[in-house]
Amino acid sequence: MVTDKEIAELIFPEVKESIEDLEKRFPLRNLPNGAEVTRFAPSPTGFLHTGSLFTSMICHKVAKDSGGIFYVRLEDTDTKREIQGSGETLLKQLHLFGIDPSEGYLGDKQIGEYGPYIQSERADIYKVVIKYLLENGKAYPCFCSQAELDDIRAKQEKAKIIPGYYGPFAKYRYLTNDERKERILKGDPYVIRFKSSGNHIHKIKVTDLVHGNFEIAENDMDIVIYKSDGLPTYHFAHVVDDHFMRTTTVIRGEEWIASLPIHLELFKTLNWEAPKYAHLPVIMKIGENGNKRKLSKRLDNEAAVSYFLQDGYPTEALVMYLMTIANSNFEEWIFEHHFEHMEEFKFSFDKMSLEGALFDMGKVNFFSKEILSKKTKYEIRDMALAFSKEYDEKLYNLIKRDEDYFMEIMNIEREKENPRKDYEKFGNLYEAISFFYKDLYEQSVKENPLVFNEKFDKETIKEVLSNIRDNLKLDQDEQSWFNNMKEIGSSLGFAADRKAFKANPEAFKGSVSDVAEMVRIALTTKRNSPNLYYVMQTLKKEECDRRFNSVISNL
Ligand code: GLU
């Protein structure tokens, strides 16, 4: 009678190492008590999803705060879904968001003693473990064809029972070793399946750092662990990797809870201690029908982190926003800390909400404005150049015309105690600041004639603008300048403040804010702009006058 050992030898004659050898090759890590080893394990199947950024941010934070290790492992065993080069892109993008692994697959290289960190390079390691399972009757070669699988499924559907390859349906688990040997020698194609000893009517108790304690049906599926292409499946490979890479906490999306019983059974069968688990909530969005749904790659721009890069958001803003999803007390904390030093925040799994958070673009914009308002003009220039060099040629060329002038523009009401929050991203900066440039201002006026408040007739507007041109002095401080504007307004029949106007609207043409709006539109083409006093200082008297004249003569 053929033994399990002979079957194992027949399938993997080249495998000479044992699990003990692997235990020695990858010794326990020498880390202080409490240090967590976490990993981000992307598959190179496309762009970095915002949900994956969320996961990796937490992996990074947990490892860093505990003095542990955060590493990246590339899970590329599903070769059909692989997109060439996406692994490197993922790592580059993580870096832009300040997430730098200290070990593992780093895009252009691998660093660390627990590698290789690319699953397709670890076939020899997986084979050692599979051979062990075969030798011990915990795995078997399965010769089931697609037609047979379809047949099993059809029967299960008809009988309305749980679909899958398990128990009585796992027909090749009942082959004798003699039959197995014969078919292998004949060259019949096969995969290797794990032989489950569970039963789904039993429940197992699970502890999750986010979800707490809960019960879930035991696994009874004989899952495929080794495919006919010589590579393992995710379920099996990641268990082996998390064991030998000495991961202490597996942090991943909630969608993996359903297959947790498989993973726990594999750990148990191999006599390995399972890591701690933290399954993170999914990021949601209100869909077209008003219901919550997962952020979708296909439907939502904000599902891909590349969207935030292309639009020129400061990457810290997205990370800061994601931390508000991660911990309910973070928002208050970061307000108290003036949107700075978020690395000092103490993250905890207990404060993570179980419900999928709704993605809130408004909050991302809010954090962006706060963050950008705190940068110096030099930092803003550097960030704007880095962004525009890659994504916005027009902006890049504009800045390069005169970097000092660009910094002067961006420095309006910056570098002070309560800086203005005029900008949220670099993606619309060209449009926001182009009026500061003479030729672009002219082009804009030509293409889109100025729109003043229709409450005022042309004569009134002309009168206001020419009086401002002739009487408003720029070489005075902001308060005096504003008083000066009020005086000019009053002399033309405008109330000095809104209150006076509201109290007696019949007595005035409008208020000083109407005057300021006319000046603003004439000089900037817009209803909203940075502080008008500084806009005028930046443009200088001569250019302001030139614009007033041209607006007056074209009205
Ligand atoms: N490769 C899996 C994925 O991309 C990783 C899941 C895990 O973190 O264990 O979803």
Residue 106 CA to ligand 1 center (angstroms) comes to 17
How does the average pLDDT of the chain come out, rounded? 95
Q: What is the pLDDT of residues 246-269, one digit of tens each?
A: 999 999 999 999 999 999 999 999
How confident is residue 356, by pLDDT bands cut at 50, 70 and 90? confident
Residue 357 main-chain phi, psi, to 5 deg: -75, 150
The three-class DSSP label of residue 63 is helix
Q: What is the pLDDT of residues 469-517, one digit of tens each?
A: 999 999 999 999 999 999 999 999 999 988 888 999 899 999 999 999 9
CA distance 269 to 138: 8
- Tokens matching residue 50: 């915002």
CA–CA distance, 96 with 92 (Å, rounded to integer)? 6
- The percent of residues in the chain predicted with pLDDT above 90, rounded, is 90
| CA distance linking residue 108 with residue 92, whole number of Å | 10
Cβ pair 242, 275 in contact under 8 A: yes
pLDDT band at 141 (very low <50, low <70, confident <90, very high): very high
Ligand 1: does its nearest atom lie under 6 Å from the Cβ of 41?
yes
pLDDT in tens, 185-214: 999 999 999 999 999 999 999 999 999 999
Question: What distances in angstroms separate CA 425 from CA 3, 104, 139, 315, 359, one per listed residue?
Answer: 67, 33, 55, 10, 18
Ligand 1 center–CA 292 separation, angstroms:
23
Indicate which atom in ligand 1 lies nearest the CA of residue 252.
8
75 lines ligand 1 (CB under 6 A): yes
Q: In the chain, pLDDT over 70 holds for what percent of residues?
A: 100
In sequence order, which ranges of 411-511 are alpha helices (DSSP H)? 429-433, 438-447, 458-471, 478-491, 498-503
Q: Whose CA is nearest to atom 5 of ligand 1?
A: 41
Q: Which of 56, 252, 254 to mutate to test the pocket of ligand 1 (most atoms within 8 A of CB)?
A: 252
Please work out, in degrees rounded to the nearest 5, the angle formed at the alpha carbon of residue 474 by the alpha carbons of 448 and 408. 65
Residue 277 three-state SS: strand
Q: Pick the residue whose CA is nearest to atom 3 on ligand 1.
A: 42
pLDDT of residue 555: 87
Domains of the chain: 4-17+123-280 (3.40.50.620), 31-121 (3.40.50.620), 292-373 (1.10.1160.10), 377-428 (no CATH), 446-554 (1.10.10.350)
How far apart (Å, rounded) are the C-alpha atoms in residues 350 and 247? 20
Residue 418 above 90 pLDDT? no
- Rounded to 10°, the helix 123-135/4-11 angle is 160
Q: Is the CB of 279 under 6 A from ligand 1?
A: no
- Residue 524 and residue 451 in contact, taking contact as beta carbons nearer than 8 Å: no
